[in-house]
Amino acid sequence: MKRLICISNRITLPRRSAAPGGLAVGVLAALRHTGGVWFGWSGETNDNPADEPEVLTRANIRFATIDLRPSEFDRYYNGYCNSTLWPLFHYFPGRFRHEQDEHDAYQSVNELFARQVMKLVEPGDVIWVHDYHLIPLGRLLRQLHFRGPIGFFLHIPFPHAQVLRLLPNYTELVRDMCHYDLVGFQSEDDLRSFFSCVEHAGLATVAPNAQEITIGGRTTRAGVYPIGVDFEVVRAEAEAAMSEDSVQRMITSLVGRKLIIGVDRLDYSKGLTERFAAFEHFLETFPENQGKVTFLQIAPLSRSDVLAYSEIRQSLEQMAGRINGRFAEADWTPIRYLNRNFTHGTLMGFLRAAKVALVTPVRDGMNLVAKEFVAAQDPEDPGVLILSPMAGAARELTGALHVNPYDKRGMALALQTALNMPLEERRQRHQQMLEAVRRRDIHYWYGTFLQDLTGERRVPAVPASPGSATTGAARPVLRSLGMGS
């Protein structure tokens, strides 16, 4: 079996602290199974970074990190990654900006990653690059004469050509993606958007049902690989957490009230201001719920150096204060709004205790909280998932109540429906979603991607359910023009 090298902007060492994001969960699951190297930024800035990666070995994984210079990091990460690519990929053109020096820093950091990764490469290695921070990396590795398979997975949405073309160098970005052997997306919508950009950039003409498009000598395959959760781990953690002191104290504090929960990184793409407004409308429209429900919103801070994130934090604090001031009683606070991290196990306990989960992003790649909520629930008395159709998870979780996050009235009605749903209907809806989450878990995700990339089976294949969306190798193949290996 070939050695796997995973590369991401930042790495996560296994530890019992804050819950890791979907990228970290996926990469760790793959490397624990296959062994190999995880390379990325250390999380530290340094005016004189070391010339060689720092390597730490734990079990069968080598964690290799590098520092970045402060000025370079700010322009690369806060600038191009999170003020240019992130808003555009999430369909927020009003928050998008393009500065040439930030683009140059993005290229420079990717060049640094490529040079440092090549110091770790051994013959026969397979490289798997993750997310929007490192789109040029495949091209740069080819320029440094890496000849093994290189895959790329995008954890966030990919925009349609009519949006991406706002980026002055969008053709360059799309061309860079065509230097990979396999490009993976979260949903069919993202795949179609990618093909629209390939066509708009003049790189290829993609037939509607094409399995292979021949334009040049280099082949790039593109497919849909919806990321999952570690089902058995989530279920076990949720059950165990119910006896934890922190979870028990939270449950006791409810005093018999029904818990509505939201768990999101603090980001404007998560629809949090819309969610707070919908909860306020729910309390107005269905006043019989006042004093009988508690909405717990957990939103750890992120990217605090970017103005847009400090603005949304201020807005949410003001909304929570106003709603609580309007509706609270001496013994009841409608919204509990927390900007802090919890361990993954504790979060799973909170999800299990909830009667309703609000997962209502205005745009999201997948959203694993939706799948974790399903896995964490008690099948005998499950809660109800309210899910935005703008989340990639909506395609698989058809048992959820789907509601547009901008539809304040619709979200209020969905909350009322969820809180009053009969047990038998809750069980039926949960069973459908449970099967989907169990079938396409995190091991199925990395196993199918790596099998399609390398031809080696990494985990036992799970057959698709009748009528399920096509994923993996059956998706169209794209041949790109004019890019030698």
- Separation of CA 237 from chain center: 21
Q: Token pair 């790649």 is at which residue?
A: 365
What 3-state DSSP class applies to 477? strand
* Catalytic residue list contains 33: no
CB atoms within 10 A of CB 379: 12
In the set 90, 103, 133, 155, the catalytic residue is 155
- Separation of CA 179 from chain center: 23
Phi-psi region of 172 (alpha: psi -120 to 50; beta: other; left: phi over 0): alpha
In the set 125, 230, 267, 364, the catalytic residue is 364
* DSSP code at position 81: I
Cβ atoms 65, 54 nearer than 8 A: yes
* Catalytic residue list contains 155: yes
- Beta pairing class for 384-387 and 401-402: parallel
Q: Cα(366)–Cα(132) distance, rounded to whole angstroms? A: 15
Bridge partners, residue 224, by sequence? 185
Q: Cα(387)–Cα(378) distance, rounded to whole angstroms? A: 19
C-alpha distances in Å from residue 383, one per residue of 33, 358, 367, 375: 32, 11, 18, 11
CA dihedral 233, 238, 244, 246 (to 10 degrees): 110
Q: Cα(400)–Cα(385) distance, rounded to whole angstroms? A: 5
Q: Token pair 């996926």 is at which residue?
A: 26
Catalytic residues: 155, 364
